[in-house]
Each structure stands twice: as C-alpha cells, then as structure tokens.
Amino acid sequence: MDCSIASIIYTHIFNALPNPVTFVFQPAEEGGAGGEQMVLDGCLTGKLLGPEVGMMFGLHGWPQLTLHHVATKPGPMLAADIGVSVTIRGVGGHAAFPHYCKDPIVCAAQVVTAVQQLVSRNTDPLDSLVVSITQFNGGTAHNVIPEEVKLVGTMRYLEKETGMMAKERFTEIVNGIATAHGCTATIDLRDGYPVTRNDQKAVDQFFDIANKTIESKKIEVFEKPVMGGEDFSYYCQEVPSCFFALGLLPHGQSDMPALHQPTFDFNDDAIRTGIKLFCSLALQTSID
C-alpha cells in the first residue's frame, strides 16, 4: 500500500520536481540493520535503483513532542549502540549449602550494579554514556543455586573514544568480579548502529522548507542528542542527511506512552504533517 501511494504522489508531481526522488522502503529497522544492507546493495549510488542520491531525509514519530510539531538538530542526533551479552558460570548446588557452590547469581547481581561506574566514574561528566542491563536470567528452582546466569543489555554513546573505553572497562569489571567470586565470564560486546549524525546543510534546508510548509511555532531545535539508536545512521555516513522528529503528543496531554512501551500507540493524526513535509522536501530541496 505504501508503495502504491508513493507512486501515485510521484506521478502527479514528477514534472515539478527540481531533482529526481528515490523512495527507500527499507526492511529490518529494529535490530536488523536494514539501512546498512540497503547502502551495501547500492540504493544511494544508483546501482540498485534510480539515480545517485545527493541528500537524504527521514523522520521518526516522537511521543514527547507536541502533535504536528517537528524538531531536529545538526551534528549528533541519536547515539551509537553496543549489544551486551554476558554468561557467568559458577558451581551450582543446593541452596541450603551455598558454601559448596560458586554462586553466579550473587556474582551477576554485583556485575549489574558495578558496571554503572562506567557512567559515574569512567566517563567525562560532559560526555554521554548509557549502560542498561535489561535481562537477568538464571535458575529453575527455588532451592537450587544455578550453574550459570545470563545477562543481556545495551550501551549507548556519542563519541567513538567513549564507546571504546566502555567496552574495555566493561570487560575488565566483569572479569574482575567473576574472578573474585570464583566464577568465569563469557562476554560478547557487539557494535550496533553508529551515531546518527545530521549534516548542517541538510538541516538548514529542512528548517527553511519546514518554515514554508507548517507554522513556524511548530518547528523546534533539539538542544542535545537523544540516546536512542537508529539505522538511518548508515545513510548519514554516505550522503548529507537530516533525521527529524515528528510530534505525536496530543494537545492538552502532558505525556503519553513512550516508544517501545507496550501501551504505545502511534498517533495517526500526525501522518498528514509528515506527508506535507516530505512532499515539500521533494519539491524544494536544492542539491549542488
């Protein structure tokens, strides 16, 4: 359906376009790095389809931003991420005899709290780092100390040096705690999406065109980056790009369920603003 609508719009405005327009219908945005694969397949170079792409625009619904408002910023817009997986192995046994065991649960619990020192003691207070352990899995019975515990989570950063430091110190901390508890740790840290970095010229064009399309009072500038990640970042690495936020928060409401919360529901009223902006960007963007 999306392809059909895009094709109809394109047919009607084709003769008015100052530049060719490529619609990218990309799969696998959530965790699958579909943007990276599209770039590798040549969607920006003309190898896959259409002409070479000179500038790229993308949007994301934003529940913290007022409905029909838009916002972005030049430079880092969204963070890079590191996937975290840790398996801590000890010696299992009866819960009544912990002195015969090497308890991986106690070890893992200390790991969860200790890795927060990466943020509070290893990162420049003016820089940004997030360390979140989101899964803690171990044990099958109330009276048995398990043999292993698995931890899963994510780290987010804006500067390459911070990401490198985080991986190094995370490994040192986890291994040190595991050794202190008589356990062993298997650590898997995988680089995910890079930083989504907006190009100044693309952002300037976005703000200029947005001011001609919607009310100026609905256009905002983000003061700082957001620590979420986005595979639009792969396009940003190849061509001048601007990723912007589209407001979803209904007027009169102070908040709504955030992204990835189970009760989140996209506000369809925002769609017309997104369509207006994308049509205006297609009609008015100037590429040297």
Instruction: Please state the pTM of the whole predicted model.
Output: 0.86
> Same domain for 14 and 56?
yes
Residues 85-105 have a mean pLDDT of 98
Taking residues 68-88, what's their average pLDDT? 97
Q: Which helix (H) or strand (E) holds 23?
A: none
Q: Is 23 in the same domain as 159?
A: no
Q: Per the structure, how many domains does the chain have?
A: 2
Q: Are residues 150 and 276 in the same domain?
A: no
Residue-number span of the structural domain to which 53 is assigned:
2-78+196-284
H/E stretch holding 108: helix 104-114
72 shares its domain with 93: no
Average pLDDT score over residue span 11-21: 71
Q: Are residues 64 and 126 in the same domain?
A: no
CATH at 233: 3.40.630.10
Mean pLDDT of 74-87: 98
179 backbone dihedrals φ, ψ, rounded to 5°:
-60, -40
Residue 52 has pLDDT above 50, yes or no: yes
Cα 43 to Cα 40, 145, 234, 243: the distances in Å are 8, 52, 12, 18
Q: Which of 169, 191, 213 is the last residue of a domain?
A: 191
CB-based contact 64:246 (threshold 8 Å)? no
In this model, does residue 10 exceed pLDDT 70? no
Q: Do 73 and 201 share a domain, yes or no?
A: yes
- pLDDT of 45 higher than 70: yes
